[in-house]
Structure 1
């Protein structure tokens, strides 16, 4: 059961119910019969209660006196939570979610690259270089590739010298990981290292305008990868072996 399978029965219940809610198997306002769900999933009420606390923390459910436990309206869901993102992808909303992420990145990351070129430290450059080296070593579609990609973008945000911008990694990283998983699995795309290298070189040179343009080019390439993903989904022919993607 994906990431939660390693966390035992409690995690499996969270996975099962979370995916059901986010995927539309339960509608907003639906009342959860906790006892019946426990019997269905073959777990104790104690496990159910602890699992429901996790889902409540993600904004998916709530409990009120005289009403019981119910599915909350979507506007209360923590859409930036890594599990909620994954459940949305599993429920078929992956492409739209990735396009929403691309919009956010187009606003944040070119400006971050511009600022990083002006404020980066030697330690920031070392972190970017290390992430790029890890990206070059990683196998396509591997967890290491996703980790290296996320590390590069996290280091770039940190290089801005702005603590609030640096914390934008909490918003971007979960989506980036799902994006990597989706694109690596379905699209034949080019080596991501050159596009990331162009950003790093401009940041290293302190050339803010060039860094911003390099990030815009990287994001344009990422958008083309998503277009290939959509085309592959519509193409009934056998999929090609995936290659790495810019992220």
Structure 2
């Protein structure tokens, strides 16, 4: 289980700063970390740094062993399905392969979830989806509303394990911020769910994700 991490306060700032060093390329896999130098550089206490290291260790980023001391673990050990790791990786140096993998994962998960949602959603869950879509059209923070829609979709699918994919859906940075109107694509998904049309819901979600991927490629790599 990952260490509890709220992202707030000095503790959160220390975790974020160390993660930025790793994902920004300052520290690479296998590099040893000078804990004393890090503590002085970040201006934090030994306790604060130790707690931050615990968080990053739980996420598979940092390890410790005799003679080598504290070090950055190989990428194969990183918990790439952890929401914070996805966020840090997406915010770091452009990595087309990683974003492609995230898009493929979402394409495997979300269209079938939309189909399930069309067949299983409750009236209350449908209301939640509709409120998220309304907020997407009118809110000053459409990105948050977009995330709320996708989280509500996972819940409406009625599969407890798939609901846990929220960490991936909510942090990948692919479907948000393209500058295009997000409402029509989401409305097509919602309409199909409202009509209990599983096939149409699945197709609409696939089209929505494909457009998000094209927008992400244009925005980040062209």
Q: Is 2:165 the partner of 1:168? A: yes
Give runs of aligned pairs for residues 93-112 of structure 1, distance below 5 A: 93=94, 95-112=96-113
Deviations 1:15-58 (A, max 9, x none): 22211112221122222121122223333322221221122122
Report the aligned-residue RMSD.
Answer: 2.1
How far apart are the structure 2 equivalents of 1:41 and 1:227? Answer: 35
Deviations 1:204-230 (A, max 9, x none): 111111111211221222123123314
How far apart are the structure 1 equivalents of 2:142 and 2:187? Answer: 15
Q: Is 2:30 the partner of 1:40? A: no
Deviations 1:63-89 (A, max 9, x none): 223432111111111223333223323
Aligned position for 2:25: 24
How far apart are the structure 2 equivalents of 1:113 and 1:84? Answer: 26
How far apart are the structure 1 equivalents of 2:66 and 2:34? Answer: 14
**Where has structure 1 moved over 4 Å in runs of 4 or more?**
none
Report SS of the residue matched to 1:228: helix
Q: Is the 8 A contact 2:90 2:99 kept in 1?
A: no
Q: Is 2:157 the partner of 1:156? A: no
State the 1:170 CA deviation.
2.6
Q: TM-score, normalised by structure 1?
A: 0.79
Aligned position for 1:68: 69
Cα 1:155–1:59 change in 2 (3 A) is same
1:218 aligned to which of 192, 195, 208: 208
How far apart are the structure 2 equivalents of 1:12 and 1:117? Answer: 41
Give runs of aligned pairs for residues 97-136 of structure 1, distance below 5 A: 97-136=98-137
Structure 1: gaps of 5 or more residues:
235-247
2:174 aligned to which of 166, 170, 179: 179
Q: Is the 8 A contact 2:136 2:145 kept in 1?
A: yes
Q: Is the 8 A contact 1:21 1:27 kept in 2?
A: yes
Structure 2: gaps of 5 or more residues:
1-5
Aligned position for 1:239: none
How far apart are the structure 2 equivalents of 1:91 and 1:220? Answer: 23
Aligned position for 1:197: 187
Q: Is the 8 A contact 1:13 1:51 kept in 2?
A: yes
Q: Is the 8 A contact 2:174 2:213 kept in 1?
A: no
Q: TM-score, normalised by structure 2?
A: 0.87
Q: Is the 8 A contact 2:174 2:212 kept in 1?
A: no
| Bigger fraction of residues in helix | 1
Cα 1:37–1:148 change in 2 (3 A) is same
State the 1:193 CA deviation.
0.9
